[in-house]
């Protein structure tokens, strides 16, 4: 099997990372709405995680094309 062959996976393999990112985002949104102080910090961190993952995936994809 070479690198260009698509991998097959189950439900968890396909939707695992998006589901985790959705839960992290939901925690961040709720923390931003209900709290102050350390909950503000929690919301910034949890809402930054999906953005960081997006940049990481974009960089990884660009390296694979080169």
In a domain, 32, yes or no: yes
In a domain, 7, yes or no: no
Q: Residue 57 belongs to what domain range?
A: 15-65
In a domain, 24, yes or no: yes
In a domain, 8, yes or no: no
Count of domains in the chain?
1
Tens of pLDDT, residues 14-59: 899 999 999 999 999 999 999 899 999 999 999 999 999 999 999 9
Predicted confidence band of residue 6 (pLDDT cuts 50, 70, 90): low
Question: Which pLDDT score, from 0 to 100, does residue 63 have?
Answer: 84
Please provide the DSSP assignment of 3-48 as one string: TTSPPP--HHHHHHHHHHHHHHHHHHHHHHHH--THHHHHHHHHHH
What's the predicted TM-score (pTM) here? Answer: 0.75
């Amino acid at each position: 099997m070479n690198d260009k062959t698509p991998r097959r996976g189950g439900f968890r393999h396909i939707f695992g990372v998006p589901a985790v990112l959705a839960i992290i985002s939901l925690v961040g949104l709720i923390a931003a709405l209900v709290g102050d102080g350390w909950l503000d910090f929690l919301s910034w961190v949890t809402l930054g995680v999906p953005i960081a993952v997006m940049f990481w995936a974009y960089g990884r994809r660009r390296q694979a094309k080169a």
